[in-house]
């Protein structure tokens, strides 16, 4: 078994934590469906799942959810019914069941070639959408909406194709945010039911009075920009809000949501800005013209349970860790949370296409694990989020998963077999995707290899300002 070599992440430890029960929602099916999302660049989820499997990390989970699903009714527990109906019906009209994945998900060809050359069976990946729907329909038979809808006429969808009304159609879609960064794409209903179902499946596994610390993961979740009646920022359905509402129904009274994404968690904050029970904390880049342009300290102070931590260009590991220790953890403890929901978007990593922050995989992991261990008797749900370099993201979620296992389940993990910090990635079906990065796990951590050092415009004195603003001193 291969593990990466790095000094243990510091976090409070106790017999309760050592007995943590681990659940993850992940499978080839889930990954290929989630990679239908255009901003996943056809491979973000697939590469992550494959690398987790290559390092044998799934062996240490108590439960693996491989067939996630949810219904439109589940989604409309929060979202506007007309909005969801338009998404589902419009996307169905564009779907093509016979479409192959090659081109939209070209990485499957690498698995096929690897299997042939290595005489191994890596063909758990689907070859086309017909196979994916056959698999989906084999288990998601709880209602008729599980099956792919046949193509409907635009008239039935309340969208017309006459020249006279094209502008009206565009206006209708734009009202719901279904253009530009959130276009209708083929198989969007399937994507929404699987990705949202993966997050909601975590809620179904957890109980407020569980005697065991539970850590639950869905790296395909974390769609924090979707509003009740409007898609935004590559996000159509807000699985985070739906998850938190499900947790409230299950008896969790005090919930803290912590958002590590480069972008402000605007839609989650909006959903709970008047709640005393749900605390929302977001650290994010806040500069003129940067999306979504919200998330100031001043706006947070208008609400009892909102904490905004707007940051500047060049954020590094040291500053992030100080923010975590001096601001985030004290706020979480003051809220006296029973469960933490962490959005682990990693578009602030060095090597991401945004190139705004310069966090390292190790540094961001250390910060997240420290927050996860900040409340001794607190369950933790971890979701994915932003991140637009699929190879970088696969490394990050693999390392973060490993460190969570080592920190909260260390006594049950074999830590004897460690590879060197600059060792080569393990051979697996997508290894050739890392060829241009010399097959090295830590290529983005090595000075001079990927990008230049950024000037950090964040000053340590600002942390004291945040502490004063949120009455932590």
The verdict on whether omega for the bond into residue 127 sits within 30 degrees of 0, i.e. cis, is no
Q: Print burial letters for 112-124: b (CB count within 10 Å at least 16), e (below 16).
A: eebbeeeeeebee
Given 21, 79, 225, 379, which residue is catalytic? 225
Residue 10 neighbours by CB distance under 10 Å = 12
Q: Which residues contact 29 (CB under 8 A, 6 or more apart)?
A: 66, 67, 126, 132, 135, 136, 194
Place of tokens 């699985």: 239
Question: Is-catalytic flag, 263?
Answer: no
Residue 402 neighbours by CB distance under 10 Å = 20
Longest distance between any two alpha carbons in the chain, whole Å: 70
Alpha-carbon distance of 312 to 315, in angstroms, equals 7
Helix H or strand E encompassing 363: helix 361-372
Q: Print burial letters for 44-80: b (CB count within 10 Å at least 16), e (below 16).
A: bbbbbbbbbbbbebeebbeeebebbbbbbebbbebbe
69 close to 193: Cβ distance less than 8 angstroms:
yes
Structure tokens at 405: 């296992």
Q: Give one word for 39, left, alpha or beta, with left for phi > 0 and alpha for psi -120 to 50.
A: alpha
Task: Report the alpha-carbon angle 130-37-430, nearest 5.
Answer: 75
Alpha-carbon distance of 172 to 149, in angstroms, equals 22
203 close to 251: Cβ distance less than 8 angstroms:
no
> Helix %, strand %, coil % for the chain, to 5?
40, 10, 45
Alpha-carbon distance of 356 to 444, in angstroms, equals 15
Q: Which residues contact 116 (CB under 8 A, 6 or more apart)?
A: none
Place of tokens 């949370």: 337
Q: Is 231 exposed, middle or buried (0-12, 13-18, 19+ CB in 10 A)?
A: buried
Alpha-carbon distance of 106 to 109, in angstroms, equals 6
Structure tokens at 243: 């998850």
Catalytic center residues? 225
């Amino acid at each position: 078994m291969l593990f990466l070599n790095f000094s243990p992440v510091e976090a409070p430890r106790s017999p309760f934590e050592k007995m943590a029960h681990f659940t993850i929602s992940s499978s080839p099916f889930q990954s290929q469906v989630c990679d239908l999302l255009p901003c996943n660049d056809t491979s973000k989820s697939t590469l992550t799942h494959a690398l987790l499997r290559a390092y044998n990390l799934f062996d240490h989970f108590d439960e693996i959810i491989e067939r996630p699903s949810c219904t439109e009714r589940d989604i409309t527990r929060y979202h506007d019914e007309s909005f969801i109906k338009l998404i589902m019906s419009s996307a169905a009209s564009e779907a093509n069941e016979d479409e192959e994945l090659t081109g939209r998900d070209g990485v499957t060809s690498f698995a096929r070639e690897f299997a042939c050359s290595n005489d191994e069976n890596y063909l758990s990946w689907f070859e086309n959408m017909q196979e994916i729907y056959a698999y989906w329909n084999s288990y998601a038979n709880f209602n008729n909406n599980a099956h792919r809808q046949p193509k409907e006429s635009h008239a039935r969808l309340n969208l017309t194709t006459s020249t006279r009304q094209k502008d009206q159609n565009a206006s209708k879609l734009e009202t719901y945010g279904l253009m530009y960064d959130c276009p209708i794409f083929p198989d969007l209903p399937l994507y929404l039911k699987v990705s949202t179902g993966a997050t909601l499946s975590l809620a179904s596994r957890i109980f407020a009075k569980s005697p065991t610390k539970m850590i639950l993961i869905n790296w395909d979740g974390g769609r924090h920009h979707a509003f009740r009646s409007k898609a935004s920022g590559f996000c159509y359905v807000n699985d985070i809000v739906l998850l938190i509402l499900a947790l409230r129904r299950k008896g969790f009274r005090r919930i803290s949501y912590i958002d590590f994404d480069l972008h402000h968690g605007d839609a989650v904050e909006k959903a709970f800005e008047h709640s005393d029970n749900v605390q929302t904390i977001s650290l994010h880049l806040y500069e003129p013209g940067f999306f979504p342009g919200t998330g100031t300290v001043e706006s947070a102070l208008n609400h009892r349970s909102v904490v905004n931590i707007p940051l500047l260009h060049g954020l590094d590991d040291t500053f992030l860790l100080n923010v975590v220790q001096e601001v985030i953890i004290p706020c979480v403890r003051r809220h006296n949370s029973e469960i933490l929901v962490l959005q682990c978007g990693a578009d602030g990593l060095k090597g991401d296409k945004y190139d705004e922050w310069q966090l390292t995989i190790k540094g961001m992991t250390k910060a997240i694990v420290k927050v996860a261990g900040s409340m001794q008797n607190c369950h933790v749900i971890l979701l994915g989020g932003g991140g637009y370099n699929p190879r970088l993201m696969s490394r990050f979620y693999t390392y973060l998963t490993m460190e969570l296992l080592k920190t909260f389940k260390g006594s049950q993990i074999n830590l004897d077999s460690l590879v060197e910090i600059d060792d080569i990635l393990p051979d697996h079906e997508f290894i050739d995707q890392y060829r241009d990065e010399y097959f090295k796990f830590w290529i983005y951590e090595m000075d001079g290899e990927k990008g230049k050092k950024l000037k950090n415009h964040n000053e340590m004195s600002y942390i004291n300002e945040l502490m004063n603003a949120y009455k932590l001193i």
